[in-house]
Amino acid sequence: MTGPLAGTRVVHLASLGPGPYAAMLLADLGADVVVVDRTAAMTTSVPADRDPRRRGQRSIRLDLTRPDSRAVLDELLTGADVLIEGMRPGAAERLGLGPERLLELNPGLVYARMTGWGQDGPLAARAGHDINYIGLTGALHAMGDADRPPPVPLNLLGDYAGGGTFLVIGVLAALLERRSSGRGQVVDGAIVDGAGSLTAATLGMLATDRWHARGTNVLDGGVPWYRTYRTADGGYVAVGAIEPKFYVELLTRLDLDPAGYPRDEPATADRLAQILTARFASADRAHWESVFADSDACVTPVLTFAEATEHPHQRERAGYLDLAGVRQPAPAPRLSRTPAPVPAAPPGLGAHTDELLRELGRSAAEITALHRDGAVA
């Protein structure tokens, strides 16, 4: 393996949502990630061998309710640097896999726990999903038009930004600290914490009376020069002309005199919004792409996922790759001296069970017995 985390062993107790994403990010950086799949397949939206979040990893299937399977896991963890688990608080302890025992087994282990609400607090034992977690941070309330309920967003802000990405930040920090202390520690990765951290700048604006009711602010569509517009063919463009010079460029490209539309005068906003709505609706999206192609007006097409993977900018930067017939984002960020490896295709459930058992020193007869007894699959 190559990449900055080459030589780092990560064990992921197969989970949903942000846990697999965190495992993917670590694998993309060169870590040797072993996902411990259940002997009974989990219900997921994507088949295991086509799920980009499993790329570059190996899979072993264990029945963690069985002592012999937990013994195999203990062997894996003895030589591991990181464990990722995404169970409700207390569930790992009931399986005998809590941090107190595992840190005694391997004092250098970074035990990364991924939950929605965190390991403590009045909501810790409650179920929830992305929409609930970001709803508790204020972020959801800030989205959408003023006269409608907040929209249902994709689970990018909570699960993946506030969850998986922040868990990886904690893991990397703990690995770095371990270099001086020699000791592992527990990373309490809570989506509500990470998503809350993402609101820092907005809370700063609120505290200084620069953030107001939904739909009246610069970054929530409250001004005509920072929102989306429909085009004649049913497409959309995104307009982000925040700075005054970009605002001037926007109006100039639309054959409007900037002097007639003072940017910061409230009386201008409704009139300009109507004009921009009509203007963008008068031509197809491709036309507006050509109008603003070499411009700093900050006007871009709103692409579908399929279109995004084929955009010239992404093609030039090789921003996407194909694995197992699935187009997916390339590893990010990009490092100059230790670049991320090209990931291997996602493994099927248990694709590396025997391989990993052999690495642990199990004989052929022992492996056969584990299969026969149902400890592995």
Q: Pick the closest to residue 89 from 190, 184, 16 (CA basis).
A: 190
Radius of gyration of the chain, Cα coordinates, nearest whole angstrom: 25
The sheet carrying 226-230 orders its strands as 226-230, 236-240, 299-301
- Rounded to whole angstroms, the Cα distance separating 5 from 34 reads 14
CB distance 186 to 99 below 8 Å: yes
| Beta-strand relationship, 236-240 and 299-301 | antiparallel
- Classify the C-alpha dihedral 170-173-179-180 as positive or negative: negative
Furthest C-alpha separation in the chain: 84
Measured between alpha carbons, how far is 142 from 220 in angstroms, rounded to an integer? Answer: 7
Considering only CA atoms, which of 210, 203, 275 is closest in space to residue 239?
Answer: 275
Q: Which residues are catalytic?
A: 129, 159
- Between CA 102 and CA 111 the distance in angstroms is 8
